[in-house]
Amino acid sequence: MAEFKNLILDVEDEIAVLQIARPKALNALNSETLDELMVALTEIEARDDVKVLILTGGAIYNKKIEADDPFRSFVAGADISEMHGFTAAEARAFGIRASKPFFKLQNMRQVTIAAVNGFALGGGCEIAMACDIRIASENATFGQPEVGLGIIPGFGGTQRLARLVGMGRAKELIFTCDVIKAEEAYRIGLVNHVVAKEELMPTAKEMAKKIISKGSYAVSVAKAAINEGFDMDIQNAVELEANLFGVVNSTHDKTEGMGAFLEKREAKLTDF
């Protein structure tokens, strides 16, 4: 396994927990962290012993108000001190560099869950949106403050936010830079669940375990069907689904899953 300066990776019970841990900048994403993320996600995707990835913001914060609060920040955005001196070409290159780990989160075969603690601003909201599912602690806050900095969301925010919450709400959030609380994020469909701080990781792990108990291959094919079909016209999307439905019908899990139902016993699903 690679060594990381700004990430902490733990794998246990087929669940990888990847913490962004750059506390001096509230986990802001700089180039180094984005590159590390790409390395970590590539390694995780190649591991047969990982079925679900939980992405979270971690480490202990030695800061003013909430000293030593590990829930203070998920990711407070892209690193403003790095972006400040960018030329247009450098800014574009930075966006393309970030798109690699973001697309990896979106499309990797394992399910990705963002466990969002504290600030999820700008690039922080965007990286959470690149995950399949978002669970927020009740102190989490979300926003896209970019236009207030004279830029626009550049890690997919103009696209993924509109797809998740609808164009009207996405435009309001992006144009006003409003920072919303977890409950409001839940109300508009930006997050799937809101839980107490202490329940954040247990809830994410509980959901991961539930997903792992299903046929992992079928889950990954369902993920691909949803992702790839989403931007297609309905005719082609349903045809894609039919093709993938054919693929999963030749698996051990299909024989076992349906056989177990017919024999009125518990299915023993694997991952093929």
Please report, as ranges, the residues that interact with ligand CO8 according to CB under 6 A.
25-26, 28, 63, 76-81, 91, 94-95, 119, 121-123, 145-146, 149, 153-155
C-beta separation of 121 from 179 below 8 A: yes
Q: Between 147 and 258, name the residue whose CB sits nearer to ligand CO8.
A: 147
Smallest separation, CB 268 to ligand CO8 (Å): 45
Q: Using CB atoms within 10 A of its CB, is residue 84 exposed (0-12), middle (13-18) or buried (19+)? A: exposed
200 touches 115 (CB < 8 A): yes
- Tokens standing for 107? 């499309």
Residue 182 and residue 139 in contact, taking contact as beta carbons nearer than 8 Å: yes
Give the 3-state secondary structure of 71-112. Answer: CCEEECCECHHHHCCCCHHHHHHHHHHHHHHHHHHHHCCCEE
Smallest separation (angstroms) from ligand CO8 to the CB of 76: 4
Beta carbons of 2 and 43 less than 8 angstroms apart: yes
Assign 119 to helix, strand or coil. Answer: strand
- The torsion angles phi and psi of 23, rounded to 5 degrees, stand at -60, -30
Query: Which distant-in-sequence residues (6+ apart) come within 8 Å of 65 by Cβ?
Result: none
Kindly tell me which of 34 and 221 has the beta carbon lying closer to ligand CO8: 34
Structure tokens at 112: 């990705």
Alpha carbon 136 to chain centroid, angstroms: 12
Q: Which is nearer to ligand CO8, 77 or 101 (CB)?
A: 77
Task: Kindly list the catalytic residues.
Answer: 126, 146
CA distance 253 to 248: 8
Neighbouring C-beta atoms of residue 15, cutoff 10 Å: 21
Question: Which of 149, 260 has the CB closer to ligand CO8?
Answer: 149
Of the pair 98, 201, the CB lying nearest ligand CO8 is at 98
Nearer to ligand CO8, 139 or 251 (CB): 139
